[in-house]
Amino acid sequence: MTRLPISHIQEAAEAALNVARPYLREGRVASYIPALSSVNPDHLGLAAVTLDGHTVTAGDAVTPFSIQSISKVFTLTLALNKVGEKLWARVGREPSGTAFNSIVQLESEAGRPRNPLINAGAIATTDQIINSGGASGGASGGVLGGAREAIDDIESFLQTVAMDTAVEIDLDVAASEAAAGSRNRSLAHFMAAFGNLTHPVETVLDVYFHQCALKMTCLQLARAGLYLANEGVDPLTGKRITSVDHCRQINAVMMQCGHYDNSGEFAVRVGLPGKSGVGGGILAIAPGKGAVAVWSPGLNEAGTSFSGAAALEHFSAALDWSVFSV
Ligand code: GLN
C-alpha cells in the first residue's frame, strides 16, 4: 500500500467538513429517544486513525456523543468471539431493505432477523453474549440479573479497543431508551415467541439499551474500529481482537447492512464498510488503511447522519479509500 502523507489526510478531513457543513440543517435530530432530541444539530466532527497510528481530527472530533447503533458492530464482534459461526443460526447476514426498527420481516421469516445491524438482529446478537446463570437481580441500579456482566463486558471491550478508559455508558440515555422502548420490546417479544432469545426479554433489552447509550468521541470510535481495518488485530497493540474470518464477515455485513434501507446508497457514495447510529455518528473502515468516524446529529430519513455521510463521501474520495478502487 502506498502510504499517504499525514498532511494530505488532515487536508482531506478539513475539506470534507467544509463540503458537509452547508447540509447541517438538512437533517433531523432523532426525537423518538427523548434524551437525544436536545442535541445541538450544528455539531460536525471527523477523526481518522491510520494503521500506523497516525491520527487526524477536524471539527468536533473530541466531543462525546451517543454511538447508538454503531455499538452493534462491537457486540457482533463479541458474539462471534463467544459463539462463533453458530451465531448465524440466530441471525442472518442479508440486507433487510427495511427501516432499522422494522417488524415486518420478522413474522414472515419466523423470528430470525435479517442481519445483526438492524435492531431485531442486534437484540438477538446481544442475547448471545449474555452468560446464563448470572447473579439474580435488579438490585444494582435497576439493571436486571445476568445483564450487569454483559454491560460491563461491552463497556470494557470498548475501553480496550478505544485505548481509553474514559469511554462510558450514559445512564440517562439508557433510561430514556428503556422508557421509550416499546418498539424494541415488540421486536424482542416477537423473537422470544419464536424461541429465538435464550434470556428473558427484559434482561436482553437491558443490555441492548445500555450498549446503545455508550458515549464516545469520533477519535475514540475511529481508534476502536482499527482492528476491523487490520484483519482483526489491533495494529497499535498487536493484540488479536477477533479472527481474520470474523473480521471479514463483520466488514461484509457492514458494507451490506450498516445503514438499513440506505446501505446501497452509502456503499455507492462512500465505498467503505460502515455503520451509522441515530446519534448522528458513522464509523467507516478502510481495510489495510485505517478507520474514520464522523459525527453530525441531523439524520436523513433512514437514520443516517446527513452531513456525516456527505463528509465521508468526500473524505473517502479524496484519499481514494474506497474498497472498489484499484
Ligand atoms: N437505540 C436505537 C434504537 O434501538 C438505535 C437505533 C439506531 O441507531 N439506528 O432504536
For residue 288, give the C-alpha cell.
489495510
Find the 52 Cα to ligand 1 centroid distance in Å: 32
Over the stretch 72-129, which tens digit does the pLDDT of each residue have? Answer: 999 999 999 999 999 999 999 999 988 888 888 898 899 999 999 999 999 999 999 9
Q: Which residue's alpha carbon is nearest to atom 6 within ligand 1?
A: 69
186: Cβ below 6 Å to ligand 1?
Answer: no
304: Cβ below 6 Å to ligand 1?
Answer: no
If you average pLDDT over residues 285-293, what whole number do you get?
A: 98
Ligand 1 nearest atom to the CA of residue 184, by list position: 4
Find the 100 Cα to ligand 1 centroid distance in Å: 7
Over the stretch 228-283, which tens digit does the pLDDT of each residue have? Answer: 999 999 999 999 999 999 999 999 999 999 998 999 999 999 999 999 999 999 99
Give the H or E element holding residue 19. Answer: helix 6-20
Q: What is the 3-state secondary structure (H, E, C) of 203-272?
A: HHHHHHHHHHCEEECHHHHHHHCHHHHCCCECCCCCCECCCHHHHHHHHHHHHHHCCHHHHHHHHHHCCC
Please give the residue that has the higher pLDDT: either 294 or 133. 294
d(CA 324, CA 208): 33
List CB contacts of 54: < 8 A, sequence separation 6 or more. 6, 9
pLDDT at 101: 86
Compute and round to an integer the Cα radius of gyration of the chain: 18
Ligand 1 nearest atom to the CA of residue 101, by list position: 10
pLDDT at 120: 97
Find the 106 Cα to ligand 1 centroid distance in Å: 17
Q: How many CA atoms lie within 13 A of 117 on its CB side?
A: 34
Find the 288 Cα to ligand 1 centroid distance in Å: 29
100: Cβ below 6 Å to ligand 1?
Answer: yes
d(CA 302, CA 97): 10
Q: Is 154 in contact with 75 (CB distance < 8 Å)?
A: yes
d(CA 71, CA 59): 23
277: Cβ below 6 Å to ligand 1?
Answer: yes
Q: Is 178 in contact with 204 (CB distance < 8 Å)?
A: no
Over the stretch 131-182, which tens digit does the pLDDT of each residue have? Answer: 986 544 444 445 776 899 999 999 999 999 999 999 999 999 999 999 999 9
pLDDT at 6: 87
If you average pLDDT over residues 209-237, what whole number do you get?
A: 98
Over the stretch 29-72, which tens digit does the pLDDT of each residue have? Answer: 999 999 999 999 999 999 999 999 999 999 999 999 999 999 99
Specify the pTM. Answer: 0.95
Provide the CA 148 distance to its chain's centre, in angstroms.
Answer: 21
CA torsion sign, 264 to 268 to 270 to 273? positive
Query: Amino acid identity, residue 184?
Result: N
d(CA 48, CA 61): 9
For residue 219, give the C-alpha cell.
477519535
Number of Cβ within a 10 Å radius of residue 168 = 15
% of the chain with per-residue pLDDT over 90: 89
Q: How far is CA 190 from CA 32, 82, 113, 117, 151, in A?
A: 21, 24, 11, 17, 23
pLDDT at 142: 58
Q: How far is CA 224 from CA 128, 165, 204, 227, 292, in A?
A: 22, 12, 24, 7, 10
Angle between helices 119-129 and 201-212 (to 10 degrees): 110
Strand segments, DSSP code E, in the chain are 45-50, 55-59, 65-66, 168-169, 214-216, 274-276, 281-286, 290-295
Q: Which residue has the cell 438477538?
A: 124
List CB contacts of 89: < 8 A, sequence separation 6 or more. none
Q: Which residue has the cell 416477537?
A: 190
Q: Ligand 1 pocket test: pick from 33, 69, 115 the residue with the most ligand atoms within 8 Å of its Cβ.
A: 69
Find the 239 Cα to ligand 1 centroid distance in Å: 30
